[in-house]
A and B are shown apart, each in its own frame.
Chain A
Amino acid sequence: MPFLLQASSLSVKTDRLFLASVAVCAALLMVVVFFIVYFCVRYRRSRNPEPVDVEANTALEIAWTVFPLALFLAVFYFGWTNFRYLRDVPQDAMVINVTGRQWAWSFEYPNGKQTPELYVALGRPVKLVTHTLDVIHGFFVPAMRVKVDVIPGRANYVWFTPWLLGDFDIQCTVICGVGHSRMLSKVHVIPEADFKRWYFSDEPVPKLQPVSARVPAAERGLAGLLRAKECLACHSLDGSPSVGPTFKGLYGSRQTVMGPGGRSQVTVDEDFLRRKLSDPQAVQVEGYPPVMPPARLSERELDSIVRGLKGL
């Protein structure tokens, strides 16, 4: 797995908090290291043979109590709000039962199909409810940033919306015996059409194509493209609110916009999307902050995004 590969909607939120707190903490550490090194050089015995006893300064003591406390509480706050998002399953999530035993996983879909590896449709949220037949296991998909302990007598859950096509590792994270490190499986993210075809067929498992061949060329990697252009930092694919309007159901909706000619009502159509994407600041949708940066898209990328948004 490439470093911090982001394969789900959760991964971006988690990583943003993770990287921000790493940056803040590293800065704090660097300040301390700077002073330790500086003092050791500046006040070395050969240069400063006459030490001085320094009395503690109450204001300074209070400052370096309150300042880290404020930083740590901020880390706590965003950890908590993002955690709420992790626990808040979308209404339309498909519920899949995950069962762990020493030392294998199995997945059961709503219609009773069972597979040893997990198959999910691109862009569709899934809720995984966990069960164990023996000891505690840990269900972990690093690329999706989800993990939950699989505990006897307890139906724990995780959810995610996959937005990258591909095959991602599932690993057990709680020591469960001699086969612990081989209690592995995969999440296969496939196009929704392929998923549906398999789901309503008699095939035990979907025929997997190589990741590059999994979608018709026109739709290839819409989610990947949107992510690469950083659209998904502010727009969601699954209807959840964010900085900008969600892409789900956006095409064809009525919106109030502020343009050069004042306030007006428009229907989001191909023409509107092209105008907005080419020059985001020319037209502002009411109810959202006017912060969208220029997207820098090639003609072909613009075509695929507009076509892709029609289908969401």
Chain B
Amino acid sequence: MSYLDNEGAPAWKAWLTTTDHKRIALMYLSLIAPLFLAAMSLGVTMRIKHLHGGDFLISAQTYNELFTLHGVVMIFMFVIPGLATVFGNFFLPILIGARDVAFPRVNLLSVYLFAAGCALALFSIVTRGGAADTGWTFYVPFSVRTGTDVSLAVFSVFVLGLSSILTGLNFIVTTHRLRAPGMSFHRMPLFVWASYATAWIQVLVTPVIGITMILVILERFFNVGLFDPAKGGDPLMYQHLFWTYSHPAVYIMIIPAMGAVTEVIPTFCHKNVYGYKAIAYSSLGIAFFGSLVWGHHMFTSGMAELADMIFSLLTMIVAVPSAIKIFNWTATLYKGSIELTPALLYALSFVFLFAIGGITGIIQGALAVNVFLHDTYWVVGHFHYVMFGGTGFGFFAALLYWFPKMFGRMYNPKPAYWAWALMFVGFNVFYFTFLVLGTMGMPRRYYAHLPQYDTAQLLASAGAFTMVSGILILAGDLVWALFKGARAPDNPWGGMTLEWKTASPPPKENFKERPVITSGPYEFNPGRRA
């Protein structure tokens, strides 16, 4: 009996009180997917605005609220939780042969906290002050002085952070305690390694953002002066605290996507992963070094030059484990038997776009160049290559890969190919133009832009519209498949990991009998080795 069966209970009760990790994953998906589309439409509105350099369509105040909301929703409600809560919740227990996560009821609590955090952020739009207009970074003293409802927005981040910590804790304990007999650490699928590394970052650094957000609220209500030089405080302390979380958060966003891609590539090459250990430990390397580079967001802030130097150096070092992953993914294709399915196409696009995100990071990580590029469209282009080209395409690849398993339905691959073409071309026209605009000196978060940027802004908007049409086609294809798709077999792709050894969709508690593990996760061709 599939996990989707309510067993006679009313549907609302069966879903809202469930402790099944798979149902919780779908609850997350049902929250995250509409929020993603909503935040995307905010982005589209901004791209329409930039068809004109001056006053057009919306007011400057509305524009500032739009990019803040776009950032807050995308980052805290899609990119950070996206892969971990949807695919992590669904597949982490299955991939290690467990029946559920270690603390199923805590898991349910975390989805409720997540929903509450989302509701608070959306509620801030209609409160008296209106949506925050500070950018998702909430820099003081502007975030303390502005009349918009920053307090509610940062409190929502606090609540979302609690949810994230609980999920991370659950994953760490699950990975340590609930592995099937024979599942040693070096036999774990690499998505598990990635989720495990991510979970440590979530547990260790998320408290910092929680505290920082509370400090902003204290400043707004009681004017304590922690960040006010007139009272002996320092605005840079806020930036340090904020980025101590928010840079590692970048790796919370990207590592699970790397993990998902690492599952997709070997399956459609029908061969083992190249460099299993290198990929596994590079996730831990990223998690460690990624926690020590936050200062590269502050090279123009006037902090000590020694600090600038150290942060720049560490920034170069954190790029190395990512480069190692890229080389190993590429080498995995060697001597494979490659089926360019939609899932693999999105996964390889992830590799390409994430690589551009990485190298633009190297370029802007050089101190002198950073002084030029910081806070321009270059940086906006860079982090969209990482966050959307990386995590976004990784999310789509994971969705296309695991969709038959999660819902027991097959989707039509043709629209997924068309959607890919529109998204890939549109994405690059859009964000590569952003990189160019940055080198032309276009600052970010600008409602009005100077005439010299008109042409490039137009081109970027055209790319954005193309990309969005691709996203909508993909969404339509998957929604259609949800209701009308053909029944999926248990193992439609020929995968080797444990999720393909149970039914589609999986039964309650995942396996009829507890699996016993006797080999590594990717031994596709035990008879043919080189």
Could you list which residues of chain A lie within 8 angstroms of chain B, going by C-beta atoms? 1, 3-4, 13-14, 17-18, 21-22, 25-26, 28-29, 32-33, 35-36, 39-40, 43-45, 48-56, 60-61, 64-65, 68-69, 72-73, 75-76, 78-80, 82-87, 134-136, 138, 140, 142-143, 145-149, 151-154, 156, 169, 171-182, 184
**Within 8 Å CB of B489, what residues of A?**
none
Interfacial chain B residues near A79, Cβ < 8 Å = 312, 365-370
Complex contact B317–A69 (CB within 8 A): yes
Among B192-241, those with CB < 8 Å from A are: 228-230, 234-236
Residue numbers in B under 8 Å from A49 (CB-CB): 337
Not counting A69-B320, A135-B141, a sample of 6 additional A-B residue pairs whose C-beta atoms are within 8 angstroms of each other reads A14-B371, A40-B338, A51-B335, A53-B524, A54-B335, A181-B445
Residues of B within 8 A of A44 (CB): 337-340
Q: Does B263 contact A (CB under 8 A)?
A: no
A48 touches B352 (CB 8 A): no
Q: How far is the CB of B385 from chain A (nearest CB, A)?
A: 12
Question: How many angstroms from the CA of A285 to the CA of B61 in the assembled complex?
Answer: 61
Contact: B300 with A138, CB < 8 Å? Answer: yes
Interface-located stretch among B10-18, B269-277, B394-402, B403-411: B269-277
Tell me whether B348 and A36 are in contact (CB under 8 A). yes
Give me the 7 closest cross-chain CB pairs, A-B, nearest first.
A153-B229, A142-B441, A79-B366, A82-B368, A83-B367, A25-B359, A39-B333
Interface size class of B (residues with CB under 8 A): 35 or more
The answer to whether B320 and A65 have CB atoms under 8 Å apart is yes
Identify which of B145, B309, B369 contacts A18 (C-beta below 8 A). B369
A29 / chain B contacts, CB cutoff of 8 Å: 355-356, 359
User: In the assembly, what is the distance between CA of A172 and CA of B68, in Å?
Assistant: 18
B517 to chain A, nearest CB (A): 18
Instruction: Tell me how far the C-beta of B497 lies from the nearest C-beta in chain A, rounded to whole angstroms.
Output: 15
Q: Which residue of B lies closest to A68 (CB)?
A: B323
Note all chain B residues with C-beta closer than 8 A to A184: 450
B337:A45 contact, CB within 8 angstroms: yes
Q: Does B511 contact A (CB under 8 A)?
A: no
B443–A171 touching, CB < 8 Å: yes
Contact residue among A17, A32, A51, A135 (Cβ-Cβ distance under 8 Å from B337): A51
Query: Would you give the shortest CB distance from A97 to chain B, in whole angstroms?
Result: 15
**Among A75, A148, A156, which residue has the most Cβ atoms of chain B within 10 A?**
A75
Assess whether B330 is in contact with A53, with CB atoms less than 8 Å apart: no
Knowing A78-B366, A175-B445 touch, does A136 contact B302 (C-beta < 8 A)? no
Of residues 227 to 276 in B, which have CB atoms within 8 Å of A's CB atoms?
A: 228-230, 234-236, 269-272, 274-276
Known: A13-B368, A36-B330. A51 touches B271 (CB 8 A): yes
B468 on the interface (CB 8 Å rule)?
Answer: no
- Whether B447 lies near A64 (C-beta < 8 A) is no
Instruction: Digitize B517-528: 1 where CB-to-A-CB distance is under 8 Å, 0 elsewhere.
Output: 000001111101
Specify which of A26, A87, A145, A153 lies most central, judged by the most chain B CB atoms within 10 Å of its CB: A153
Question: Which residues of B have CB within 8 Å of A154?
Answer: 229, 235-236, 302
B338 touches A178 (CB 8 A): no
Given contacts A138-B300, A152-B141, contact A80 B274 (CB under 8 A): no
Chain B residues within an 8 Å CB radius of A65: 320, 323-324
Judge whether B308 is part of the interface by a CB distance below 8 angstroms: yes
Is B313 at the interface (CB under 8 A from chain A)? yes
B445 near A180: Cβ-Cβ < 8 Å:
yes
- Which A-chain residue is minimally distant from B142 (CB atoms)? A135
Asked whether, in the complex, the Cβ of A43 is within 8 Å of the Cβ of B335, the reply is yes
Q: How far is the CA of A1 from the CA of B355 in the complex (A)?
A: 29
B425 within 8 A of A: no
Q: Which residue of B is nearest A83, CB measured?
A: B367
Chain B CB within 10 Å — which of A68, A78, A79, A84 has the most?
A: A79
